[in-house]
Every structure is written in C-alpha cells, then in structure tokens.
Structure 1
Amino acid sequence: MINFRSLTDEEINRLESQLCSASDWKDVRVAERFTPDYVHHARFSGKVCLGVFEHEFTLPGGICKHSGLSYVTLHNVTVGDNCCIENVKNYIANYEIGAYTFIENVDIILVDRKSRFGNGVEVSVLNETGGREVMIHDRLSAHQAYIMALYRHRPQLTERMKALVEAYADEHASDRGTIGSHVTIVNSGYIKNVRIGDHCEIEGAGRLKNGSINSNADDPVHIGYGVVCDDFIISSGSHIEDGTMMTRCFVGQACHMGHNYSASDSLFFSNCQEENGEACAIFAGPFTVTHHKSTLLIAGMFSFMNAGSGSNQSNHMYKLGPIHQGALERGAKTTSDSYILWPARIGAFSLVMGRHVNHPDTSDLPFSYLIEDKNTTYLVPGVNLRSVGTIRDAQKWPKRDLRKDPFRLDQINYNLLSPYTIQKMMKGRSILKELERVSGETSETYSYQSAKIKNSALNKGIKFYETAIHKFLGNSVIKRLEEIHFKNDKEVRQRLLPDTSIGQGEWVDISGLIAPKTEIERLMSDIETGVLHTVDQIHDRFAEMHANYYTYEWTWAYGKMLEFYGLDAETITAKDIINIVHQWQQSVVWLDKMVYEDAKKEFSLSSMTGFGADGSKEEQVLDFEQVRGVFESNPFVTAVLKHIEVKTELGNELVARLSNIYN
C-alpha cells in the first residue's frame, strides 16, 4: 500500500514549468519518493494520486522509455509505481492503475457512474427471443450456465441463481475501475467501464465497453487490433484478435477468437477456438471449434465439437420466429456444407453429413453417422467407434487444454467411454434390437424417429455397442482389482463392492462435466433451499463432483456389470471376473484392429492423389512418404499396436492373479 503525501511548493512550480496543470494542486497527492522529473504536459482534476517513476521500459525493437506521464489528462485516477502513460488523446477518468503499467496512444479510458463491469449482463443464449437468459459473471462455469439455461422448468432454481449472480455483481460494482499491474494498453480507441486484470495486453482495440478482462500473471489475456466488445467478460488466458466483434458474450479460459469472428448473445467456455465465422445465441461448451468464414452456428448447444466449412443451422421455420434450438452432444462433428433445421438433437460423438430437415433426435444412438441421401436422413449407429478420427480427438483434447490459471472455472472430463455414453449405448442397443424384432430381421431398412437405418448398419450397430460396453465394464473391473492379490472369492466380492451409493441411476453431461444426475439434483435443491448461497460455493460443488468421478463411476459400473452379465453380487466368483476380462480383451483388440484398418485407408493409393507433382507412381509414393511418413512407423499406428499389446498383457496379469483362487 502506497502512502501518499501532498506536493511541495517546489514540486508544484517544477510541474507547472513542465506545462502541467491542476484544477486544484491540493487534490494531487504523490508517493514519498516522488520526483517530478518525468511528468510533462499533464492535466489533473479530481482526486489524483501518483506513484514513483523510477523504472525504464524496454519496448519491442529495443527502444527504451522511462516511466512517467506525458500528454495526458487524469481525472480521479490513482497511478501505481513505475507506470508510463503517454499520448492519451482525451482523458483517463475514475481508475486505479497498478504498478509497471504501460499506456500509450489511446483515445479515452473512463468509468462513467457506477458500473458492474459486465457482471450481471443477460445473454439470450439458445433462444434469441429470450426465455433462457444466462447472467454472466467473473466466476461463470459451463456447468452453472447449463443449469441456468436449461432447467427453466424449475423457476425457483432460476430465480435463486439469478439472485446469487445479482449479489455477486452488486458486490463487485464500483464507480472506479481498475487496470492491474504490468498491463499494456497501446494504440487503442474507446475503453469505457472495463475492469482490466494484471499482465493484460491490449494492442489496437477499437472499442471495449462494459466488461471485465480477467487476466492474471499465471495466464495473461491478449486483446488485438480492431477488436470491438460490448457487454462482455473475458476469462484468463484468452486471446481475442484481429477484428473480432462481440456483443453480450462470455469468453471462458484459454479461448482463441480471431480473423473477424462475429458473435452475439453467446457463451464460449474453456479452450474454444472461433475464427472467421459467425455465432448467434450459441452455448459453446469446452473445445467448440470453428475456423471457416462460411460457418454459422446459431441457437445450438455444442461441446468438443468441430464445425466444417459451410456448416449452418436454422432456428426458425418462418412461423413464430427464431424460437427453435438444438444440441449436438459432446464430440459431435459437422462436415462441410452440413445443415440442420432445428429443433434437433444429435447423439454424442456423431458425424453429421448433408442436409437434415426432419428434426432428428439421435441422442440414444451415440457414435453414429447421419448421412443425407435424396432428402432422407440415414443413420449408421455406432460406426464412429471404429473411426481413427474419434480416437485421435479423444487423445488430443487433454493435450490442447491451454489453461495455465491454477483456478479453473470448468471441470472437464475427457473420457470417451463413461457412464454417460455407455448408458446411451445400452439404450441404443435395446432400441436397435426392438426395431429388428418389430420390423423383422429381413427388413431392408428400419425407421427410427425421422431417420432410416439400413439392415446391415443396424446389425453392425448392435455389435459396436456391445463391444464398447464390454470394453468399458472390463476397464472398470480391471482398474478396481489392480495390484491386489486375493486369497478367495469372498475377498474379490468384498473389493468389488462400491465405496459409495452415489453414482447409481442416470448420468448427465453438464457441458463437459460428467456426473450422476442425483448429484446434480442435490446441487439444484441446495441452491433452491439456500444451502448454497454464493457462486463460489456452487463452483466448489462442481469441483467436488469432478474430483470424485472415478469413485462414482465404479458404483455405476458395478451395478451395470451385474445386470449386463447376469451376475449376483452374493455369488460372483473370480471365474466370472476372468470371463469378463476375456470378453474385454476381445473387445479391445477388435476395436483397435478396426481403428488400425481405418487408419490404413489414409495411406492408400487413392489418398496419394495430388502427391508427386509431374512424376511417376514411384515418385508419388516417395513424395507421400516424405510428407506423411510410412504407415508402419506412423506415431498413431504404432500407438494402436502398442495399445493392443499393453491391454492384452494387463488382462493376462489379472487373469493370472485370479486363477490362483480356483486352481
């Protein structure tokens, strides 16, 4: 805390000789070691406090500038130690500026009356006409927003959450803004009612109005040239670049937006990358990615999603306006020129190709292809389980988590197979078997919702789902029994018993967080009854669910294991577990071999088209190998083969440990 003193008469004379002026010099206070050497052409009004100017900034290109004030008007401003503020065209008003901050060539920076700095702004997400508004704030997570937007059938919950955010916004409201320490603001235009965190860099921004930039030393924020943001919050580690325009938006941690991206009434959570295209009223959960100019995302909910060029949706049918919404569950992708007419719901890890206008709901058939042929939607269930792209995605997401802030807003579960997706596969398997039973095994096509399923696709879908269920349950059992030597079946049964009853029943994906529905219900009840009464307490509860995921997962997997394999908790034996492990081994190897064959297609002769310019087939192959490598030594391919080997050995090791019991 700096102790400020009044200026001496000598200092005032010196400042005036350096063309400085004040409406009242008594209102200008300075740090103990202040000297006026580096204060020129400055005007002061209101209460102004100045730190010392002893530091020298080294700028890109090697030029050095001493800290100080030059050609600037300050009104009700506190300037921390060793700041450099130069060439402010209009003025800076009502701000606390931290130490070592560099401000140069800006138009105006001001706070006008009491501001909440973007906290409490209502974002009309999913429905442009309103009804699903999310009130944004500094601590907003994807999971809080999910509940606020989607659980409107619980009006008391909605009102309580609004009240909590209002309380947070009011608590952080002020008639003075803050610009943190080690901040850089250069060549920028209009900045009004914006709170700026430590180590933030703002270079060439056009307009920033009513918002918070929650930068910090661990994970700074960068705002680039031509950026225009109104009514916004930007979280730590995010980069908003190159003419991006946002109105009423929340940007989560480590997001990247650029190349003239345009967004309104939208929420973007951790690690989203948005470039070139346009978003309107979208709920972009973690890792929502769109790179193409022709891509419009509108009124949809997404996560772990990649939008192909020309992807588009419609949220109205020219009747009552833009009131329809849709969802692509986690991991869904759209190909180039895909189109979906909302309302629709696409199952997790599915691929959408072509135009779909009949409102498909494939949420119980995950890992599917939706393909359009002559205006008809064809569904290929489960086929994406064998796709090399799906496996690669699952591996790359954790590596692409760029968050460096130790305080993480979103609790992200990256698991491809989880109670959430496996429960859907179990339901999908039942649906496919029932379709086969009702329509007959010899039917060429089956109708499901507004889609068609071919006979061969249906049978393969059942096989894919069963294989994935074996794989997940086997994974869970092996993990539960690892590194323990058992003397008898009783010890095995004892170890298999869950540690908690939490985890039974349905599971949900709350935009990146996978959790038992019972825990989400408990959270919502605690909000309604006032047990949870701050936004940070809600955050802590989500973090607790995430931390306990594997404990809860085993509770669910244990129950499903008994049900799926027809076992009894009282009589289960080591031999039963060995049978499960053998089925698991077969499933893992079969799926990996399918992925291996899918990867092989990437190295076929047809994939070499365009390689070996002006040369022979031999040159084409050589050129391809120089660019793409050889199939056998491809890192992903070798990883798949290694995975088969490791998993086989893992299963054999458990079988060997259990075999001692009944041999």
Structure 2
Amino acid sequence: MNYRKLTETEIARLQLQLCRADNWADIEVVEDFTPEFFRNVKFTGKNQLGKFGEEITLAGGVKAHTGIYDAWIHNCSIGNNVLIHTIRDYVANYTIEDNAIIFDVKLLAVDGESSFGNGISVETISEAGNRSVMIYDKLSAQLAYILALYRHRPQLIDNIEKMITAYSNQVKSSRGTICSGARIYRCDTILNVKIGKKAHIEGARLIKNGTVNSEAADPVYIGDGCHMQNFIICSGSKVNNATLVSNCFIGQGCILDKHYSADNSLFFANCQGLHGEACSIFAGPFTVTHHKSTLLIAGMFSFLNAGSGSNQSNHMYKLGPIHQGFVERGSKTASDSYVLWPAKIGAFTLISGRHYSHCDTSELPFSYLIEHKDVSYLSPAVNLRSIGTIRDSQKWPKRDVRKSENLLDCINYNLLSPFTVERMIQGRNLLLTMREKDETCAIYQYQGVEIEARILSRGIRLYENAIWKFLGNSLITQLEKSTKSLDKKEIQSILKVTSPEGSGKWVDISGMICPSSVLNDLLNDIESGKESSLENISAEFKRMHHNYYNYEWTWAYDTLSQWYGKKPDSFTPEDIIAVVKKWLTAVLNIDHWLYEDAQKEFALTQQIGFGIDGDEEAQRKDFENVRGSMETDDSVLTIKKHMEAKEALGKRIINMVKEANGLS
C-alpha cells in the first residue's frame, strides 16, 4: 500500500476535531484518505492510516461510520474501513487490518518482543514438567503425543523442540496483528496477543501472551469475563463465561465454557470443558467434561466422556507428585468415579466407583471397571455388547465441527481397528492362560483388579466374536474391490499383500491409529536429522492417516493367517465361504446382544416417573411420546438394518464365490 504525508488542510481538520499528535510528520496516510471520521484521537509514535469510507451496522441495528473516535494510537498501521471507538488507555504497536472493529477496550498493546504464545512449555500429564510440550500455532495431537510420551528418545525430543523454537523465533515480533474482520468489544486488557481473521472477542477481562488462530471460515469466539494467559487457540473454538485458561493449547473446534478452569493442559479437536477443572491434562480429540464437580488431572484421555464428580489423584507420594494416568480412547467415567494414579485404563472402558489399586487394564479393552467395598472388579469385553458403545462411535464423526481447510489433528473413528483388535487378541490369550492355570478358581487376580470366573469365560467368547467380525470385515472389503468374477485365481490375487507396512504392533497416537513401524520410520528420520521441517512432519502424519486401510489389510492378513491357519492369498473358494460364515455368525451374535441391551432402555423400570398423575396406560403413552418406542428408536432400527444388510452381504459374497467356482 502506498502512503503519503498529511496535508496542512488535513492536519487542520484533524485538530479542529480535537485530534492531536506529538509529530504530525510521523503520520502517513493512503492517497484517498479523508479526515472527517476522526474525533478526539491522540497519535504518538509512527502511524499509518487507511481510508474510512463505509458505514457499518453493529448489534441491535446501530449504524456507525468507520473511523477512530476517543482513542490514543501509538505506533500502529491501520487498514481500510476500521472502526476504533472508546479506548480507555491506548492501542500500541499493532497492525490492524481492513474491516476490524475495536470498541470500548481498555488496553490493546504489544510490549517488547513477543512470540505470542509460541514456544511456551505446557506441563502436561506430569505436573512436575517432565513431559512438557512446547506449543506452536500448528501443533497437532500427534506431534504433541510424541513430545509428551517419547521421553525414552531424548535426541528425538530435542530435535523437535529445536524446530518449534526456530518457528517461535520466526514469528517473534514487537508488533502484533489484528487480522481483517476481527471484532473486539468491551474488553479490558489485551497484551501481546495476535488475533486472526474474523475473531470475535467480547467482554474478556484479560488476554495476555497468546495467539487467536481464527479463520474467516471458522472464527474463534472469546466471551465475557474470560482470563487467558500464555495460550494458543485454534479455529472454530469458543471460550466463554468467565473461563480461566493458563498455559494451554486449545485445538480446533473446542469449547471451554461456564467458569471452566484449565491450567497447563492441551485440548485437541472437538474437546469440551464446562463447569469443571483441568490441571496438566492431555485431552486428545473429543475429551468431554460437562460437570462442575469434575476434575481431570495429570492424565491422558481421548474420546472420553467424564461423569459428574470424576476425579483422579495420588496423595500418597513422598518425593514429589507422581501423578500420571492413561485412559485410552472411548472410555467413560460414571458419576463420582475416582482413580488413584498411576493407572492405565484400556480402550472403551466404563469406570464406575473408586479405584485405589493402580490397575492396568490396557490389554482388556471394552470392559467395565467397577468397585465394590474398595475392591476393583473387571468385566472384560462386556462393553462390546453395549448399545451405548456403538452409539458413541457413530456420534463422534457427526460432532466434528471443524471447518478449516487445514485440519491439524488426524482422527480415526473406527471402533474396531488393528489397535483395539490387537488388544482384544492379547486380552483373550490372557484370559485363556488365567483359566488354564486354575480352572477351579472362582476369582482371578490381575494387575490390581479381580475377575470372576464366569465373567472371564464370557469375556473370551465376546472377544472371539469381535475379532472374527473385524477379520471378516477386512476380508470382505478386499473381495469387494474386485471387478472380476471371484474365482480361485482372482481371490488369491486380490488377497495378496502389496506392502509389508502394517505388520506388527499398532498404536493410537491421540486419535490417529497407525502401525508402530511406520511411525518409527518417521521418528528415526527426525532423530537422525533427515527430517527437519514441522510442515513435512505434519504431512507425514496425514499420509499415514490416509493410508490406514492399506496398512489395515496387511495387519488383517497376518492375523487371519494365524487365526485361520492359512495365508489369505492361498485361500480356496471353500476357505472364503468358511471365513464369511464365521464372520456372519460373529456379526449377528454381536448385533443380537446389542438389540437385547437396547431393550433394557424400554423396560418398565425405566418408565418410573412418566405419566406422573395417570394410570399405567398414561405412563406408557407418556414414555413413548418422550423417549419413543422400541419399534421407532433410531438406534434400534439401525441395528435391525445392520443385521439385515450384513446377512444379505454375507449371502451375496458366498453366492458369488459359489457361482464363480461351480460350487453348489
């Protein structure tokens, strides 16, 4: 943009409108600048001004002309059609882009050089700071996971931190930016903050040392009474209603609201924190807590639903805090649940009661962890027959509110994946071994929990059904890729593995599921210095995420070889039919269990309090009008349709194989 000096006529007009400057020569303006819309403005330092030719509409239909009114402006570059009105202290050292509004603000300034929250170390998981994560504008859940948990590879951590430090130094400046279309109303102090496009900040009390990475397509909102210090907040996120944030990274599509308090914590895509408190947590995607009395502390979570009064702690340390807990994806905590850290809870586990035994149930996913008289009991695999588990897995993708073209976090929503199925295989083997050692035992002890014999046997059966369901799903997905007749030659051709990537152990990197070997290839490159770009690291994570299904078939191939006793690329048509039948039996078994679980929601005991002043018929009708009926419930209908569809699919595959190979 080309600037010129003010003319004598323009200076005289500004002075007539009670404007003043230490040195009028230090003010530059665009060629078509007009001085009409400046009232009671004090200019100090060097300033640049755009044109102010538009009228805008504020809340309530109030019309206001762009310009600067009742303000002290120091060392600022102000774009076109900006409205700055009623600045109680001053605006200093900012570039304010086109169409921004700053209305009734006490202080807006950059004081010295700032990295605007980039490079801050967040003491996540360990309150002592031993797992600190350096944050920056484009931090993903995946990179943060590596920084927090791969401390056994110090050179890797050091190299990543050097990249983040370099980025922080690159964005360091003594001048802040208010990007185009931003709205700032009725705020007190905003100090050393960079504010992105179309951000809406209204009524905040203190915003200090941070970046608001708002985007035009997905703005950030910060509302009344909020205090935020040492932070980065990403597109589509909302912080409101006197929420307190200190030393935090808030990812895309998050909500922190209703007096929530968050300290030294990381929140990734679509997290929600209302009423309660977070201290040193790593909140992976879809970590949700809505209750005033809930404390999440010193733990790692993802896809979590925290019930009211949930808490974790360790008050028994003597050499400093050793808080550290891991609750793997998809778990829930019931009201007033408590876990004494350190502990590790397996994926998709329901935690109920109070647990003091430092349990590790990571090899027994989809379980109930319940307490009776201070004893922790585990029901392995029982969550596989819970309709709530299925409902949760279906709701998460629908609740992904991110709109950015650049999604920072890679999220895999699959309920059954090599990560969870691998754990189920380990869990099944573990339960079989326990039973074989002592078949007369009534209660088995394992890693701080007790498992009743009858529940152990049921867990084996549930795991086996889920494993065959997954293996059959993967096999059928491969077969459906064929555009030819499924004769023996085509079957063996299409079931071949084209790459070894996917074999072996899999990991859940805070929402992204991938083979450990593929991840380690990237980490080795970072560690050796071969990979030294944050952008390339992000791109590699996205490449892994994109290749999930290719990796999955390699893993399923290996596992199917073990479970069926034959490599899939040597399967005969008869083998295909046998595996599909096993798959169909497993799928229908699980769906029947889910259907039975759903029926419980419509039992008479669930209708207490309905039709409160009527007879039994009124109770039934009131319940149906409020909750619906078994015949019309969406989840129940989905199960029915799923059973019908899978049964039809199984028959279709079997018939195709029979026809192609002349089998009766």
**Normalising TM by the smaller chain, what interval?**
over 0.9
CA distance in 2, matches of 1:662, 1:122: 66
Corresponding residue for 1:220? 219
Tell me by how many angstroms 1:446 deviates.
1.0
What amino acid is aligned across from residue 368 of structure 2 in structure 1?
Answer: Y
Q: Map of 1:102-181 to 2, 5 A cutoff? A: 102-181=101-180
Check conservation: 2:178, 2:195, Cα contact below 8 A: yes
TM-superposed deviation, 1:316 = 4.1
Amino acid of the residue matched to residue 463 of structure 1?
R
Indicate the SS of the match to 1:279. Answer: strand
Give the equivalent residue in structure 2 for 1:24.
23
Q: What is the CA-CA distance between 1:491 and the residue it aligns to?
A: 2.1
Distance in 2, Cα, partners of 1:249 & 1:662? 64
Q: Give the 3-state SS of the residue equivalent to 1:175 in structure 2.
A: coil
Match of residue 478 from structure 2: 480
Q: Distance in 1 between matches of 2:388 and 2:634?
A: 14
Cα distance in 1 between the residues matched to 2:314 and 2:655: 57
Quote the Cα distance in structure 2 between the aligned partners of 1:587 and 1:68. 69
Paired position in structure 1 for 2:38: 39
Q: What is the CA distance between 1:561 and its match in structure 2?
A: 0.6
Counterpart of 2:571, as a letter, is I
Paired residues for 1:254-269 under 5 Å: 254-269=253-268
The answer for the alignment partner of 1:240 in structure 2 is 239
* Match of residue 465, structure 2, among 457, 464, 467: 467
Residue aligning to 1:445: 443
Change (3 A) 1:520 1:483: closer
Answer yes or no: is 1:277 the counterpart of 2:276: yes
Partner of 1:525: 524
Per-residue CA deviations over 1:479-498 (Å, capped at 9, x if unaligned) read: 00015333632321111012
Per-residue displacement from partner, 1:519-577 (whole Å, max 9, x unpaired)? Answer: 11111111111222121111101000000000110110011111111114564212111
**Whole-Å separation in 2 of the counterparts to 1:590 and 1:59:** 60
The separation in 2 between residues aligned to 1:149 and 1:317, in whole angstroms, is 24
Match of 2:293 in 1: 294
Residue identity in the other structure for 2:321: P
- The one-letter code matched in structure 2 to 1:387 is S
Q: Which residue of 2 aligns with 1:412?
A: 411
Cα distance, 1:265 vs structure 2: 0.5
**Equivalent pair of 2:359/2:448 in contact (CA under 8 Å):** yes
**Secondary structure of the structure 1 residue equivalent to 2:61:** coil
Give 1:573's aligned residue. Answer: 572
- Per mean C-alpha deviation after superposition, the further-off stretch among 305-314 and 58-67 is 58-67
Q: State the 1:447 CA deviation.
A: 1.0
Cα gap change, 1:511 to 1:570, in 2 (>3 Å): closer
8 Å Cα contact 1:125/1:149 also seen in 2: yes
Deviations 1:279-305 (A, max 9, x none): 000000000000000000000000000
CA offset digits 1:432-452 (Å, max 9, x no partner): 000000121x32111111111
Determine the structure 1 residue equivalent to 2:429. 430
Paired with 1:174 and 1:570, the residues of 2 have a C-alpha distance of 60
What is the distance in 2 between the residues matched to 1:456 and 1:184? 62
Question: 2:557–2:568: 8 Å Cα contact kept in structure 1?
Answer: no
Q: TM-score, normalised by structure 1?
A: 0.99
Match of 2:378 in 1: 379
**Preserved CA contact (<8 Å) 1:251 1:268:** yes
Which TM-score applies when normalising by structure 2?
0.99
Offset of residue 321 of structure 1:
2.4
- The within-5 A match list for 1:502-581 is 502-569=501-568, 571-581=570-580
Q: For 1:536 and 1:384, how far apart are their aligned partners in 2?
A: 39
- Tell me, yes or no, if the aligned pair for 2:411 and 2:512 is still in contact at 8 Å: yes
Q: Which runs of 5+ in 1 are unaligned?
A: none
- Distance, in Å, in 1 between the alignment partners of 2:180 and 2:274 is 30
CA pair 478-434 structure 1, distance change in 2 beyond 3 A: same
**CA deviation vs aligned residue, 1:483-520 (integer Å, no higher than 9, x gap):** 53336323211110122110000000000000000011
Instruction: Give, in whole Å, the separation in 1 of the partners of 2:42 and 2:530.
Output: 52
SS of residue in 2 equivalent to 1:36: coil
Q: 2:182 is matched with which residue?
A: 183
Q: C-alpha separation between the residues in 2 aligned to 1:83 and 1:488?
A: 70
Aligned-partner SS, 1:395: helix
- Tell me the distance in 1 between the aligned counterparts of 2:6 and 2:355: 73
Q: Determine the structure 2 residue equivalent to 1:363.
A: 362
**How far apart are residue 315 of structure 1 and its match?**
3.6
Assess, with a 3 A threshold, how the Cα gap between structure 1 residues 562 and 405 changes in structure 2: closer, same or farther: same
Question: Match of 1:274, as an amino acid?
Answer: G
Aligned to 2:194: 195
Residue 28 of structure 1: how far off its partner (Å)? 0.4
In structure 2, the residue matched to 1:458 is 456
**Shift, 1:14, TM fit:** 0.4
Contact 1:316 1:323 in 2 (8 A): no
1:41 and 1:60 mapped to 2: Cα distance?
24
Question: What SS is found at the alignment partner of 2:60?
Answer: coil
Residue pair 2:560, 2:567 contacting (<8 A) in 1 also: no
- Write out per-residue CA displacement over residues 234-266 of structure 1, whole angstroms, 9 at most, x where no aligned residue: 000000000110110000000001000001000
Q: Aligned residue for 1:626?
A: 625
AA aligned opposite 2:85 = E
Offset at residue 657 of structure 1 (A): 1.1
After superposition, give the CA deviation of every residue in 1:7-29 in whole Å (9 maximum; x if it has no partner): 00000000001000111111101
What SS is found at the alignment partner of 1:658? Answer: helix
> CA RMSD, aligned part only?
0.9
- Structure 1 CA distance for aligned equivalents of residues 268 and 569 of structure 2: 45
The CA deviation at 1:59 is: 1.3
Aligned residue number for residue 67 of structure 1: 66
- 8 Å contact kept, 2:496–2:569: no
Cα pair 1:439 1:446 within 8 Å, conserved: no
**CA, structure 1 residues 142+483, in 2 after alignment: closer, same or farther (shift >3 Å)?**
closer
3-state DSSP class of the match of 1:602? helix
Question: Which residue identity does 1:493 align to in structure 2?
Answer: Q
Tell me how many residue pairs correspond in the alignment: 661
1:331 counterpart residue number:
330
Cα deviation for residue 662 of structure 1 reads: 4.5
Preserved contact between residue 34 and residue 51 of structure 1 (Cα < 8 Å): yes
- Separation in 1, partners of 2:344, 2:569: 41
For residues 576-614 of structure 1, give each alpha carbon's deviation from its aligned partner in whole angstroms, at most 9, with x where no partner exists. Answer: 111111111111111111111111111111100111112
What CA distance in whole angstroms lies between the structure 1 residues aligned with 2:600 and 2:152?
48
Q: Secondary structure at the match of 1:452?
A: strand
Corresponding residue for 2:638? 639
SS of aligned partner of 2:74: strand
Aligned 8 A contact 1:117 1:211 in 2: yes
In structure 2, C-alpha distance between the alignment counterparts of 1:85 and 1:563, rounded to whole Å = 70
2:614 matched to 1:606? no
Q: Which runs of 4+ in 1 moved over 4 A?
A: none
3-state SS, counterpart of residue 631 of structure 1: coil
Measured at CA, do residues 66 and 428 of structure 1 come closer, stay the same or move farther in structure 2, by a change above 3 Å?
Answer: same
Name the CA distance, whole Å, in 2 between partners of 1:4 and 1:383. Answer: 71
- Code of the residue aligned with 1:181 in structure 2: it is S
Give a deviation string over 1:379-429, Cα, whole Å, max 9, x none. Answer: 000000010110000000000000000100000000000000000000000
Preserved contact between residue 495 and residue 569 of structure 2 (Cα < 8 Å) = no
Counterpart secondary structure, 2:89: coil
Q: Equivalent pairs: percent with the same residue? A: 51
